[in-house]
Amino acid sequence: MVSERASNLHFSSIIVDMHSDSLARPVRHGEDIGVRTDSGHMDLPRMREGNQTAQFFACFASPKFVEERKCIQLTLDYIDAFHSLCANYSDEIEQATTAADVRRIVAAGKLAGILAIEGGHAIDDDLAVLRMYYKLGVRYMTLTWNNTNNWADGVLDEAKHDGLTDFGRDVVREMNRLGMFVDISHVAPKTFWDALETTTKPVIASHSSAKAICQAPRNMDDDQLRAVAENGGVVGVNYEVTFVSERYRLESDALNERKEGELKEAEQPQPDGPERLEKAKAEIEETFKQLRSSELKLPDYTEIVDHIDHMVEVAGVDHVGLGSDFDGCTTPEGMEDCTKVPKITEELVRRGYSDEDIRKILGENFLRVMDEVLVA
């Protein structure tokens, strides 16, 4: 339960969440997220329950499909799933492409959905594909996922380009021209700085937290936070536990090392052949899945607000928002799904933020940059 003040504030605000992976559930598993489900973090009824009123839905084609030239098809599958959701539940959700759309849709009592692409490899190195995605309603693209693509270095991959190539800079310029957010979550540090140097519009980091609190490579350091603020952009705090808690991240890494060691030992020749090897690997995976649940204590949801506090201190309250990564992450204790988001508002109230500043963090900051960047 949240206080009356927090509840009134939360449910009278437009909540903009800059990133969820919820479309993967209908695309990969055939789930209907238009009805209340027993899985995942989000569906339309739970979005309404938590007042998750303006949601960016990410389309993600794994880079493992790059060589097979399947990324465009997979991205279109996600876009189609989103359009189908909006068509099948037209009384509940409507596609938005601008901040004005979001305000109109929410005022009509519906949820606003906006398309996004996670990973620049999805354009198959072709600006015409980027333009077609835009026509279908895509309004941001992360320049990379964790991987390095043919024109930009990713944060968890080998650096091959020293940031952005000339074509990568062309991608940024074309996104500026179209009216699409340049999203610098997932990019390598040099790619980040090249993008900031190239763009003429505010950028976003749709789902990244603060490296000063948790040293996850995907998080942003203070220089980056200040640079986004100077650019006029916004950073959406990510709820992933290994981005939120340094303690949990280190414990998780140690557990992963133990698992990798056991998997390596299991790869020694087995007397019963390949079938026994696969069985041994599956047993190890299951054992460590259970260990993760029993040995690792999840951080508390209030630690998400620790990141908000730090971002506000470094970048200013006008440059901080929410980017949950729902359905693409493990969430802290107390943030089990999107119905729990009002607890963030409660914690911001408890920490002394004004109503105006809370509304900015919940959505008004992103709506402001949407007004500046996105074109119908």
Per-residue pLDDT at 273: 62
Q: In angstroms, how far is the first alpha carbon of the chain from the final one?
A: 39
List, in order, residues 6 or more apart from 375 with CB less than 8 Å away: 98, 178, 179
Per-residue pLDDT at 265: 76
Per-residue pLDDT at 266: 74
Which structure tokens are listed for 1?
Answer: 């339960």
CB atoms within 10 A of CB 296: 17
Q: How buried is 106 (Cβ within 10 angstroms: 0-12 exposed, 13-18 middle, 19+ buried)?
A: buried
Alpha-carbon distances of 203 from 69, 75, 139, 187, rounded to whole Å = 29, 22, 12, 13
Per-residue pLDDT at 192: 98
**C-alpha to C-alpha distance for 180 and 127, rounded to whole angstroms:** 13
The model carries a pTM of 0.94
DSSP letters of 148-169?
--SSB-BTTS---SSSB-HHHH
Query: Buried b vs exposed e over 15-39: b needs ≥16 C-beta within 10 Å?
Result: bbbbbbbbbbbbbeeebebbeebee
Per-residue pLDDT at 274: 66
Per-residue pLDDT at 101: 98
Give the chain's residues under pLDDT 70. Answer: 268-277
**C-alpha to C-alpha distance for 330 and 308, rounded to whole angstroms:** 18
